[in-house]
Amino acid sequence: MDSKIETVFGAIDQIAKSSPDKMAVISGNEAISYAQLATRVNAVAEGLRLRGVGRGELIGVESGRAIDNLIGLIGAMAMGAVPISMPNEVYAYTAVLNEAKPKRILATPDGMPEEAQGRAQEVARFYVSELSDPAVRPQSNHLERSASGEDTAMIYYTSGTSSGVRKGVMQSYKALHITAKYITEIMRSSESVCEFVASPVDNAFWFGRCRCVLGVGGTLLLSSGTLNPFNILAALSRNNGNAISGDTPIFMLLLHQMENFAAT
């Protein structure tokens, strides 16, 4: 592995070894340390290996539950598979299934639209929560896996096109590394960051911010239900959060809510 290429699972592994009790992810009432996150991610990677998943195989990861989506994406990468974040909207979910044709799906609660069940039944499904059982004892630490910078790390389907049709974008480990390194340096991010990522879970920006925060040993605050200003502000207050990331509509909602609060 190119010594200059860092992976998100490698970063989690290192922080889990140096600061195992540091809080990594908080979502609603669930909070997991770096040691626990590393254990769960490694268990997913081992579960995929035991089920015959090969290096470079496309794996759909449902985005219904943020914390499961995160563990599923990173676990698939640690194993050497290529995860695809599945949209929650039925048309987009079905379109990704038809175009990418993943052989297996890492499922999350409420991650598959009911209207897509017929098509999705043709694909093997495994729940992230079952594969990430801490009781699993992997044969090796998949988080120590070497990855070539040119290897495809993941695929995200973006809606940011003039046609309005989602298009799959392959992202290499080198591209992910360079992007995260640039962003964290510009923002001067450190392990003190405790950030609420207020963006749709199936959005590339969402996972990008997750990677940046985990890469520096910070703490992620993720939505555990409906994403709204009250939940965001409550999570920040409850967990001493010091940062919010999201797209323009999220900040417009927050500003609108603050205006209403000030008016009262």
Query: Residues 228-247: pLDDT tens digits?
Result: 788 888 899 999 999 999 88
CB proximity list for 261: less than 8 A, separation 6 or greater:
none
Q: What is the pTM for the complete model shown? A: 0.91
- What is the predicted pLDDT for the residue at 32? 97
Average pLDDT over residues 55-69: 94
From the number of C-beta atoms within 10 Å of its C-beta (0-12, 13-18, 19+), residue 31 rates as middle
Nearest C-alpha neighbor of 151 from the set 178, 167, 177, 173 = 173
pLDDT in tens, 117-132: 666 667 889 999 999 9
**Mean per-residue pLDDT of the chain:** 88
pLDDT greater than 60 at residue 262: no
- What is the predicted pLDDT for the residue at 36? 96
How do 30-33 and 23-27 pair as beta strands? antiparallel
Report how far residue 8's alpha carbon sits from residue 4's, in angstroms, rounded to the nearest whole number: 13
pLDDT in tens, 188-237: 999 999 999 998 898 889 999 999 999 999 999 998 877 778 888 889 99
- What is the predicted pLDDT for the residue at 1? 41
pLDDT greater than 70 at residue 22: yes
Share above pLDDT 70 across residues of the chain, in percent, rounded to a whole number: 91
- What is the predicted pLDDT for the residue at 164? 61
User: String of b and e for 43-70 (b: at least 16 CB within 10 Å)?
Assistant: bbbbbbbeeebeeebbbbbbbbbbbbbb
Average pLDDT over residues 5-22: 96
